């Protein structure tokens, strides 16, 4: 373990050769072989010279060999020296090879083989070492989380080998800019982490480094005759030496904070750096509470349908309602779908949420005059469910609601996903008598060919064009173009966002539209709609008992 730690801290320092073997430890040498060798040499030095002179004299001058035993002992002594030396040399080589193999195994366990950076496993230890050393030197540690932007797209476009080349070159560029003794690791994929020590208060130097990292990463990479351009988002977090926080805690905190800052850099437009701010942690906390609130709210029935009137602009008659979800949150009040729908989609509860809303809406709408339609918005995620059409039909059967009164609104973004699936879904829904509207038309770049191949029943002009009619010349041009498109394709049009009489009058110039907007009333709760319909004799059941002033109405009434 101690050896592994030595190894880590040594290799985490940039600029050193990571493959250099560590010196042999004394304890690992063969003590026995060394002992034999030393004893044999001592014996040879102590007695060898006098014995040798006897032997030489007996051979050269023919003197009688006084002690043949001594001569044999000398030969044995020399043999021992040779044996001992050879054994010692052999063992030293063997140990050396074993150490080298261990070194390589350690290296592979602690580094990323592609880029030579540290890997995720060894990162914590390396950062903790850096934190301890910097605390001793009175320095601060800055941690940067670097994530390449749209790396997956580049990988898909140019292939995985090109992706590897990008990672190797990016690591080389980052390494080239970091100060000595910095830590550089690749966390897997396209994420790098680096940490360096800085003198306290030297924020400008860190920001300068971060800006240079952004620049270096963004330089084009030439590979196999193609040029790859990629950028990186950097999150920065700074940790001051604190005696009450362990190096491990500080390392984890820095990594978490730099991660949050990196997401902020992505959100801010990518190819930039961003410092951690305590507000980000609060935002994260708020977000996780919000997510929990949505999950619990679905189970507790806190999501309720509101309804917005849809009007025939020519006759001024009410034709139906669009169901718009609201969250009656005990904590946050009445929450807009623009806030909770994207989160519900992300956390995977949109299908359950939408199903419960549609179920409630069908029960509500069953009491309205049968001439009134009900429009519901469907998320692109729900359209990916191969059982969606069946689920919807089941809801209709359960509520005993005629499919011809139901209109499904899907946005243009649905069409970008899987056109074939959407087409078959639309077709099967239409076969059941349900109508399909293309919502927010004009904002999602759907092509005319898509419009032609998908059997929509209606298009809804996005409210951004409608509510700026009369103020913005482009809007008039767009509305006029959509109007003639609708006429050409025989598709009726609904205009959303009619806020005042001026827009209403302006729209009348372009054709016979249906419309909805604040001019006719803001979205209302089921009870309010019921009350208003009752006043106009547009309910098929008696009005709410909550309003005793109103007279009872007969059952089926015609609008
Ligand atoms: P949308 O389907 O385009 O709904 C119209 C939005 O425009 C509604 O916002 C409505 O309140 C608003 N609006 C209506 N008239 C006017 C006006 O005159 N001026 C202005 N400025 N706005 C007007 P809301 O209720 O906040 O809904 C926003 C979006 O959330 C909806 O846009 C729809 O895409 C989505 N949404 C609502 N309910 C659901 C749902 O149950 N499921 C799904 N998947 N999406 C839903
Ligand atoms: Mg809609
Ligand atoms: Mg819309």
Cα Rg of the chain (Å, integer): 40
What is the Å distance from ligand 2's center to 393 Cα?
Answer: 20
Q: Which ligand is nearest to the Cα of residue 443, counting in written order?
A: 3
Find the angle CA(434)-CA(435)-CA(441) to the nearest 5 degrees.
145
Is residue 12 situated within a structural domain? Answer: yes
Measured in Å, residue 270 CA sits from the centre of ligand 2 at 31
One domain, residues 362 and 412: yes
Structure tokens at 417: 């996903």
Q: Are residues 262 and 338 in the same domain?
A: no
Protein residue with its CA nearest to atom 2 in ligand 1: 377
Quick check: is 542 in a domain? no
User: Best of 323, 338, 377, 523 to mutate for ligand 1, by most ligand atoms within 8 A of CB?
Assistant: 377
Q: Pick the last residue of a domain from 110, 143, 178.
A: 110
Contact residues for 270 (Cβ-Cβ < 8 A; gap 6+): 149, 150, 231, 233
* CB-facing half-sphere around the CA of 345: CA atoms within 13 A: 12
- Which numbered atom of ligand 1 lies nearest the CA of 378? 44
User: For ligand 1, what atom is nearest to the CA of residue 324?
Assistant: 38
Residue 525 and residue 307: Cα distance in Å, rounded?
6
Alpha helices in 246-383 (DSSP H): 247-267, 278-300, 337-346, 350-365, 380-383
| Same domain (yes/no): 73, 204 | no
- For residue 554, is pLDDT > 70? no
**Taking CB atoms and a 6 Å cutoff, what residues make up the pocket around ligand 1?**
308, 324-325, 336-338, 341, 354, 357, 377-379, 409, 439-440, 463, 467, 496-499, 516-518, 523
Q: Is 221 helix (H, G, I), strand (E, B) or coil?
A: strand
| Cα 240 to averaged position of ligand 3 atoms, centre (Å) | 50
Which atom of ligand 1 sits closest to the CA of residue 350? 44
What distance in angstroms lies between residue 333's CA and the mean position of ligand 1's atoms? 18
- The closest residue, in CA terms, to atom 11 on ligand 1 is 523
pLDDT over threshold 60, residue 73: yes
Which of 260, 276, 292 is the endpoint of a domain? 276
Rounded to whole angstroms, how far apart are CA atoms 459 and 205? 56
Supply the range of the domain harboring residue 21: 2-110
Provide the 3-class DSSP secondary structure of residue 157: helix
Task: Centre a 10 Å sphere on the Cβ of residue 257 and count the other Cβ atoms it contains.
Answer: 23
Task: Kindly state whether residues 499 and 416 are assigned to the same domain.
Answer: yes
Distance 459 CA to ligand 3 centre (A): 10
Q: What is the pLDDT of residue 28?
A: 52
Atom of ligand 1 nearest to the CA of 353: 41
Count of structural domains, the chain:
3
The answer to whether 214 and 274 have CB atoms below 8 angstroms apart is no
pLDDT confidence bin for 493, thresholds 50/70/90: very high
CA of 101 to the centre of ligand 1 (A): 66
Joined together, the tokens standing for residue 258 give 């730099």
Among 88, 110, 132, identify where a domain stops: 110
Q: Whose CA is nearest to atom 42 of ligand 1?
A: 377
CA of 129 to the centre of ligand 1 (A): 54
Say if residue 334 is in the same domain as residue 381.
Answer: yes
> What pLDDT is attached to residue 86?
87
Highest mean pLDDT among 83-87, 196-200, 392-396: 392-396
Q: How many angstroms does the Cα of residue 409 sit away from the middle of ligand 2? A: 6
Residues 266 and 369 both lie in one domain: no
Ligand 3 centroid–CA 477 distance in Å is: 19
* Residues, Cβ < 5 Å to ion ligand 2: 377, 409, 439
pLDDT greater than 70 at residue 488: yes
Indicate the pLDDT class of residue 102, thresholds 50, 70 and 90.
Answer: confident
Q: Are the CB atoms for 258 and 276 separated by under 8 Å? A: yes
- Is 0.85 topped by the overall pTM? no
pLDDT on residue 72: 79
Residue of 297, 310, 324 to test ligand 1 pocket, by largest number of atoms within 8 Å of CB: 324
Shared domain for 468 and 439, answered yes or no, is yes
Q: What is the band of 545 on the pLDDT scale with cuts at 50, 70, 90?
A: low
Query: Is residue 75, in this structure, part of any structural domain at all?
Result: yes
Residues 495 and 391 in one domain: yes
Ligand 1 centroid to Cα of residue 538, in Å, is 24
User: Which H or E element spans position 394?
Assistant: helix 388-399
Residue 460 CA: nearest ligand 1 atom is 3
Testing ligand 1's pocket by substitution, the residue of 379, 406, 463, 494 carrying the most ligand atoms inside 8 A of its CB is 463
Instruction: pLDDT band for 8, please (50, 70, 90 cuts).
Output: very low
Q: For residues 423-436, give the mean pLDDT.
A: 94
The answer to whether residues 495 and 442 touch, using CB atoms and an 8 Å cutoff, is no
Instruction: Report the distance separating Cα 82 and Cα 126, nearest Å.
Output: 47
**At 225, which CATH number?**
3.30.70.270
Contact between residue 220 and residue 166 where contact means Cβ atoms under 8 Å apart = no
What is the pLDDT at residue 16? 36
Residues 212 and 272: their CA atoms lie apart, in Å, by 10
- Cβ neighbors of 63 (< 8 A, separation 6 or more) are 57
95 and 129 in a single domain? The answer is: no
Q: Which ligand is nearest to the CA of 462?
A: 3
Helices (H), ranges, 61-159: 68-110, 120-137, 151-158
Task: Using alpha carbons, list the distances in angstroms from residue 151 to 120, 126, 156, 162, 466.
Answer: 19, 27, 9, 11, 39
Q: What is the pLDDT of residues 297-306, one digit of tens each?
A: 999 999 999 9
What do you get for the CA distance between the two ends of the chain, in Å? 84
Quick check: is 376 in a domain?
yes
- The CATH number linked to 483 is 3.20.20.450
- 324 Cα–ligand 1 center, Å: 6
**Does the structure show a pLDDT above 80 at 376?**
yes
290 found inside a domain: no
Specify if 30 maps to a domain.
yes
Q: Do residues 310 and 272 share a domain? A: no
Q: Whose CA is nearest to atom 21 of ligand 1?
A: 497
The verdict on residue 127 lying in a domain is: yes
Q: Are residues 389 and 457 in the same domain?
A: yes
Q: Quick one: pLDDT at residue 325?
A: 98
* pLDDT per residue as tens digits for the range 314-327: 999 999 999 999 99
Q: What is the pLDDT of residue 15?
A: 33
Domain assignment present for residue 347? The answer is yes
Percent of the chain at pLDDT > 70 equals 88
Ligand nearest to the CA of 497: 1
Same domain, 89 and 233: no
Ligand 1, atom 37, lies closest to the CA of 324
Across 384-412, average pLDDT: 95
Ligand with the closest atom to the CA of 467 = 1
């Amino acid at each position: 373990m101690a050896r592994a730690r030595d190894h880590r801290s040594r290799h985490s320092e940039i600029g050193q050769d990571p493959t250099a073997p560590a010196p042999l430890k004394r304890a690992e040498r063969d003590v026995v072989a060394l002992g034999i060798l030393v004893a044999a040499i001592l014996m040879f030095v102590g007695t060898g010279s006098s014995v040798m002179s006897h032997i030489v004299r007996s051979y050269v001058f023919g003197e009688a060999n006084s002690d043949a035993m001594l001569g044999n002992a000398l030969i044995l002594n020399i043999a021992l020296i040779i044996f001992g030396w050879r054994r010692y040399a052999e063992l030293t080589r063997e140990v050396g090879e074993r150490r080298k193999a261990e070194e390589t195994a350690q290296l592979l366990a602690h580094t990323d083989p592609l880029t030579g950076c540290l890997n995720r496993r060894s990162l914590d230890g390396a950062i903790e070492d850096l934190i301890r050393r910097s605390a001793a030197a009175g320095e601060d540690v800055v941690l940067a989380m670097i994530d390449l932007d749209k790396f997956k797209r580049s990988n898909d476009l140019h292939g995985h080998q090109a992706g590897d080349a990008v990672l190797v070159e990016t690591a080389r560029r980052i390494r080239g800019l970091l100060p000595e003794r910095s830590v550089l690791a690749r966390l897997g994929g396209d994420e790098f982490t680096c940490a360096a020590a800085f003198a306290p208060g030297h924020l400008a130097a860190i920001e300068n480094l971060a800006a240079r990292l952004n620049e270096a990463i963004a330089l084009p990479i030439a590979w196999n005759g193609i040029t790859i351009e990629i950028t990186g988002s950097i999150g920065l977090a700074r940790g001051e030496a604190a005696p009450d926080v362990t190096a491990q805690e500080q390392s984890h905190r820095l990594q978490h904070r730099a991660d949050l800052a990196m997401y902020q850099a992505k959100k801010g437009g990518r190819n930039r750096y961003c410092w951690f701010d305590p507000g980000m942690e609060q935002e994260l906390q708020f977000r996780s509470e919000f997510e929990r609130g949505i999950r619990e709210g679905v189970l507790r029935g806190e999501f309720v349908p509101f309804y917005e009137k849809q009007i025939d602009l020519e006759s001024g008659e009410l034709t139906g309602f669009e169901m718009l979800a609201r969250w009656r949150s005990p904590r946050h009040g009445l929450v807009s779908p623009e806030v909770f729908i994207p989160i519900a989609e992300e956390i995977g509860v949109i299908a359950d949420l939408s199903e419960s809303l549609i179920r409630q809406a069908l029960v509500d709408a069953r009491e309205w005059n049968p001439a009134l339609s009900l429009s519901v918005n469907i998320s692109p995620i729900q359209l990916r469910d191969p059982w969606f059409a069946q689920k919807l039909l089941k809801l209709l059967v359960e509520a005993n609601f005629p499919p011809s009164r139901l209109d499904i609104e899907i946005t243009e973004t649905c069409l970008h996903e899987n056109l074939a699936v959407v087409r078959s879904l639309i077709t099967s829904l239409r076969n059941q008598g349900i109508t399909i509207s293309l919502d927010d038309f004009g904002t999602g770049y759907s092509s005319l060919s898509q419009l032609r191949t998908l059997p929509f029943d209606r298009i809804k002009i996005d409210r951004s064009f409608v509510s700026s009619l009369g103020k913005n010349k482009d809007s008039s041009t767009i509305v006029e173009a959509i109007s003639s498109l609708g006429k050409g394709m025989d598709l009726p049009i609904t205009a959303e966002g009619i806020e005042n009489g001026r827009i209403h009058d302006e729209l009348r110039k372009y054709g016979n539209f249906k419309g909805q907007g604040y001019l006719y009333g803001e979205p209302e709760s089921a009870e309010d709609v019921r009350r208003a319909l009752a006043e106009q004799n547009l309910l098929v059941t008696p009005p709410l008992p909550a309003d005793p002033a109103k007279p009872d109405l007969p059952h089926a009434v015609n609008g």
